[in-house]
Amino acid sequence: MATYRPGSNTLLKSDSILEYVLDTTVYPREHERLRELRLITQNHPKSFMGSSPDQMQFFSVLLKMIGARNAVEVGVFTGYSLLATALALPDDGKVVAIDVSREYYELGRPVIEDAGVAHKVDFRHGDGLAVLDQLLAGGEGKFDFAYADADKEQYRGYHERLVRLLRVGGVVAYDNTLWGGSVAMPRDTPGSSAYDRVVRDYMVGFNAMVAADDRVEACLLPVADGVTLCRRLNGRAPIDRSAGPAAALGTTYALVLIHPCICMLSA
């Protein structure tokens, strides 16, 4: 039977499995400044708002696999996920970072500067939907990657805007879409608060909406507190599979999928 795990950094059945993942593949190659900001975030009174290290490592690999150059993030907090994104982008890459709180962002800004990637960051202080509308006014299809980890009850509004901002083949990721595992449990599961039940209901509807959206190819991953990935499909060219699976991946990289690991091999 599933166990509701509010506030946990993982939906794995034991924290020791997460510790193994972190100690084996995340921490050994963790950028020094990323580690510094991770610890700042973990020691913050609202540390539950921060993204998990294994999730950030996954995003870093994903950004490089899709050749991301331009990204947008809705929900920045201390800038931990923002720094992970900036480090994964090429030197001429850009990430638009949106948050209603400049105060939290200022906690991580010095670390981002020390990491040498501040020139990649365009911080926008304001409401997520309003800033996304401003970006849309400048044109659609300009971003390769998007990450939403802000007001959960605004995810539908974020989705409608972010899908339009993505290029064909671009990817958007939504955090906390399994909400402690509550989406797969009865609404009145013991341990859940009134707010948990509201978000649980919203996420059930949001995940169903995304799964039915023919503009994207969706994938719901049990990483951290649940990550929903959407790849924009509209206008994509058909893939020539006659040359085998490697041809569909391009000539720069090949993917090796050995569940649950993902490896990227340089050509």
Give which of 66, 62, 128, 65 is closest to 96, Cα–Cα: 128
Say what percent of the chain tops pLDDT 90: 74
* Total-model pTM: 0.84
| Band of pLDDT at residue 2, cut at 50, 70 and 90 | very low
Query: pLDDT tens across 111-142, in order?
Result: 999 999 999 999 999 999 999 999 999 999 99
pLDDT of residue 254: 45
Higher pLDDT, 14 or 174: 174
Domain boundaries along the sequence of the chain: 15-232
* 225 in Cβ contact with 237 (< 8 Å): no
* 72 in Cβ contact with 146 (< 8 Å): yes
CATH architecture label of 15-232 = 3-Layer(aba) Sandwich (3.40)
Count Cβ neighbours within 10 Å for each residue of 1-26 and write b for 16 or more, e otherwise: eeebbeebbbbbeeeeebeebbeeeb
Assess whether the previous peptide bond of 260 is cis (omega < 30° from 0): yes
Higher pLDDT, 100 or 267: 100
